[in-house]
């Protein structure tokens, strides 16, 4: 029997309330008490690791064009379409914020282009080594096993998690060679009804559960981490599940 309910991962910060991957989203996520804060990383044109999900700035900001074409200072000056007061930030600033919350883990998802080679991973490793963060608090997560292999070489103390949207055992093996994985992450759809054939030992990470129904299912599953855009909602549901589990374990009072 699993002794603890899954840890809650604030996906792109408190992104259901604030603009995803913004300073405000991360400040809110850390303050919420989420167990983990997750972000996406790309490179500016000058090679600075910046916190942004998409290849282009079109969806989230009032500007357009590739993230990789923007200088760091120009990226910081971007205005979010949904909230002009929201502030973009780089990895160094995020880790400086995380240093104020030593009990919170940080998941770093790499979003590199093939033509960039290992530049993103090299810059991430440099920022991590220069920060005050204990690398044991960090995990690099990625759909790209090449990125994880590179991070193993550059920052071996940082855990590595391979992400998969789907996986069918028997058709092909997971590309795990050289990654030395701490675990695997899958979408909530893949693990629906408890049918996911988790391919490796280690931590199990699920994304992205947002509704009460999805959160209840994910937090009740045999996994270790559940990502959500609504960490406060997730923590309320986890607390309810913990109370239910405790009540079920109490012996009946027979008079």
pLDDT score at 169? 58
Backbone torsion region of residue 123, taken as left when φ is above 0, otherwise alpha when ψ lies between -120 and 50, otherwise beta = alpha
Residue 33 CB contacts under 8 Å (≥ 6 apart), including other chains: 231, 235
pLDDT score at 249? 76
Position 177 confidence tier, pLDDT thresholds 50, 70, 90: confident
pLDDT score at 252? 62
Q: Would the pLDDT of 31 be above 90? A: yes
pLDDT in tens, 143-157: 999 999 999 999 999
Residue 95 contacts residue 26 (beta carbons within 8 Å): no
Per-residue pLDDT averaged across 176-198, rounded? Answer: 81
Q: Would the pLDDT of 196 be above 70? A: no
Q: Which of 144, 117, 139 is nearest to 128 (CA)?
A: 139
CA torsion sign for 152, 158, 159, 161 is negative
pLDDT score at 172? 58
Joined together, the tokens standing for residue 247 give 């009540």
pLDDT score at 1? 41
Residue 209 CB contacts under 8 Å (≥ 6 apart), including other chains: 188, 215, 217, 218, 219, 226, 227, 228, 234
CA 101 to chain centre: 16
The secondary structure element, H or E, covering residue 32 is helix 23-32
* More confident call, 114 vs 1: 114
Q: Are strands 36-43 and 49-51 parallel, antiparallel or unpaired?
A: antiparallel
List the chain domain ranges: 10-184
- Alpha carbon separation from 158 to 10, 91, 97, 108, 149 (Å, rounded): 19, 15, 18, 10, 12
Q: Is 197 exposed, middle or buried (0-12, 13-18, 19+ CB in 10 A)?
A: exposed
* More confident call, 20 vs 250: 20
10-184 placed in CATH 3.30.465.10: no
Per-residue pLDDT averaged across 84-97, rounded? Answer: 98
Coil, strand, or helix at residue 93?
Answer: helix
Residue 22 contacts residue 16 (beta carbons within 8 Å): no
pTM for this model (two decimals): 0.93
Residue 12 contacts residue 21 (beta carbons within 8 Å): yes
Percent of the residues in the chain that have a pLDDT greater than 70, as a whole number: 91
Q: Where are the alpha helices (DSSP H) in 56-191?
A: 72-76, 91-98, 119-130, 145-154
pLDDT score at 171? 59
Position 45 confidence tier, pLDDT thresholds 50, 70, 90: very high
pLDDT score at 178? 86
* More confident call, 187 vs 255: 187
Q: Would the pLDDT of 94 be above 60? A: yes
Per-residue pLDDT averaged across 53-77, rounded? Answer: 97
Q: Would the pLDDT of 255 be above 50? A: no
Residue 141 contacts residue 161 (beta carbons within 8 Å): yes
């Amino acid at each position: 029997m699993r002794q603890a309910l899954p840890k809650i991962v604030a996906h792109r910060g408190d992104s259901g309330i604030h603009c995803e991957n913004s300073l405000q989203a991360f400040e809110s996520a850390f303050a919420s008490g989420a167990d983990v804060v997750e972000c996406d990383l790309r490179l500016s044109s000058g090679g600075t690791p910046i916190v942004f999900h998409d290849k282009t700035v079109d969806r989230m900001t009032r500007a357009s064009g590739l993230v990789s074409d923007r200088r760091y200072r120009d990226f910081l000056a971007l205005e979010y379409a949904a909230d002009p007061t929201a502030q973009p930030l780089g990895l160094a600033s995020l880790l400086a914020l995380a240093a104020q919350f030593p009990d919170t883990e940080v998941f770093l998802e790499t979003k590199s282009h093939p033509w960039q080679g290992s530049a993103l991973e090299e810059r991430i490793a440099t920022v991590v080594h220069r920060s005050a963060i204990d690398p044991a608090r960090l995990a690099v997560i990625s759909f790209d096993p090449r990125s994880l292999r590179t991070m193993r070489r550059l920052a071996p103390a940082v855990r590595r998690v391979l992400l998969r949207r789907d996986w069918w055992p028997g058709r092909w093996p997971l590309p795990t060679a050289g990654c030395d994985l701490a675990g695997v992450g899958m979408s909530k759809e893949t693990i629906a009804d408890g049918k996911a054939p988790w391919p490796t030992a280690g931590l199990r990470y699920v994304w992205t559960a947002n509704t009460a129904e999805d959160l209840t299912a994910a937090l009740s599953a045999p996994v270790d981490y559940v990502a959500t855009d609504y960490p406060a909602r997730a923590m309320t549901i986890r607390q309810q599940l913990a109370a239910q589990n405790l009540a079920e374990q109490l012996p009946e009072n027979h008079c």
